[in-house]
Amino acid sequence: MLQECLEGLAIKPDGVYVDVTFGGGGHSKAILKKLGPKGRLLAFDQDADAQQNIPADDRLIFIDQNFRYLKNYCRLYGAIPADGILADLGVSSHQFDQADRGFSIRFDADLDMRMDRSAALTAKEVLNSYPEETLHKIFGIYGEIQNAKSLAKTIVTARLNQPITTVQEFKQVISRLIPKGKENKYLAQVFQALRIEVNQELEALQEFLEQSVEVLKSGGRLVVMSYHSLEDRLVKNFIAKGKFKGEVEKDFFGNELKPLRAVNRKAIVATDEEIQVNNRARSAKLRIAVKN
């Protein structure tokens, strides 16, 4: 949904923009094409592989950090207030396709799943050291898995014999719990849960969203694309209420205190044509907001 993202940003040629998920650089390069000589773009990515995609353009500043540090680096580089912020959440296609990263159920590899390879915590560490109760919560909440309790117990029992170190070993350990005919969906949910825990994705997203309000100028645009319900719920609630839980806060006179206003009532989804070209787009939900 590249075009929809660009339209959502409503790019001004001399504006200041932030792409907090640089990845392959597709969105950033498209933004740069719409910027004039005085326009500026900050691009964040914690994955070292992303640095291979940085274009030679003086208007771009690349920041090799997680987007949870948005405000600090925008202040450092004089990018506050910004005209627009773009986030394309989740794992990039490149990360899924790199067998050795351990993100995909398609390849056998070490259970890694780190977006930032300098980080200490890996999926292997989670599976082999977390208590059964914690694993139960991770799979139940982050993976929305029905038999999360049995899954956690099976893992803890198996690791008593030997550590679970590779994707194939893990799949073998949990094989009897995988529903017949739903193998890919179940494994995708299990891997999603591990990946979210390893990378603290939901905590980072909440920190980013709160900081985005402080970084944007009045009338500035926040454009966020998410790929699963946990992310989308956080984005939707924050745009609607300025918070992640509870009701909208009000001032003394009963006026709602909301920093953002939704541009679209419902999330924008990919067209059938785009899904045919890019299957991953089938689960994408795009939300656009304007700062009040």
What is the DSSP annotation of 37-82? TT-EEEEE---GGGGGG--S-TTEEEE-S-GGGHHHHHHHTT--SE
Quick one: 116 and 192 in the same domain?
Answer: yes
Strand 82-88 vs strand 216-226: parallel, antiparallel, or unpaired? parallel
pLDDT at 197 over 90: yes
pLDDT at 281 over 90: no
Quick one: 117 and 184 in the same domain?
Answer: yes
Q: What is the pLDDT of residue 257?
A: 86
pLDDT tens, 202-212? 999 999 999 99
Among residues 152, 173, 199, the one where a domain terminates is 199
Quick one: 82 and 225 in the same domain?
Answer: yes
Which of 204, 273, 266 is CA-nearest to residue 45? 204
Backbone angles phi, psi at 90, to 5 degrees: 85, -165
Q: What is the pLDDT of residue 107?
A: 85
Quick one: 64 and 130 in the same domain?
Answer: no
Cis before residue 131, ω within 30 degrees of 0? Answer: no
Quick one: 217 and 75 in the same domain?
Answer: yes
Which of 144, 19, 39, 29 is CA-nearest to residue 88? 19
> In the block, which residue shows the tokens 């709160």?
210
Residues 6+ apart with CB under 8 A from 50: 22, 23, 24, 25, 92
Q: What is the pLDDT of residue 96?
A: 61
Quick one: 264 and 246 in the same domain?
Answer: yes
Among residues 164, 199, 234, the one where a domain terminates is 199
Quick one: 13 and 73 in the same domain?
Answer: yes
Among residues 199, 215, 250, the one where a domain terminates is 199
Sheet strand arrangement including 16-19: 60-63, 40-44, 16-19, 82-88, 216-226, 285-291, 260-262
Give mean pLDDT, residues 76-93.
Answer: 90
pLDDT at 93 over 90: no
Please give the residue range of the domain that contains residue 260: 2-93+201-291
pLDDT at 92 over 70: no
Quick one: 190 and 52 in the same domain?
Answer: no
89-93, 276-280, 285-289: least confidently modelled range: 89-93
pLDDT tens, 120-175? 999 999 999 999 999 999 999 999 999 999 999 999 999 999 999 999 999 999 99
pLDDT tens, 227-266? 999 999 999 999 999 999 988 888 888 888 899 999 998 9
pLDDT band at 94 (very low <50, low <70, confident <90, very high): low
Give mean pLDDT, residues 191-201.
Answer: 95
Which of 26, 16, 75, 65 is CA-nearest to residue 44? 65
Q: In the predicted model, what is the mean pLDDT of the chain?
A: 94
Distance CA 135, CA 199 (A): 15
Residues 6+ apart with CB under 8 A from 214: 71, 80
Quick one: 258 and 173 in the same domain?
Answer: no
CATH number at residue 165: 1.10.150.170
Q: What is the pLDDT of residue 90?
A: 73
Quick one: 184 and 245 in the same domain?
Answer: no
Quick one: 192 and 213 in the same domain?
Answer: no
Quick one: 192 and 206 in the same domain?
Answer: no
Work out the number of other CB atoms within 10 angstroms of the CB of residue 99: 13
pLDDT at 179 over 80: yes
Structure tokens at 13: 């040629």
**Count of the separate structural domains present in the chain:** 2
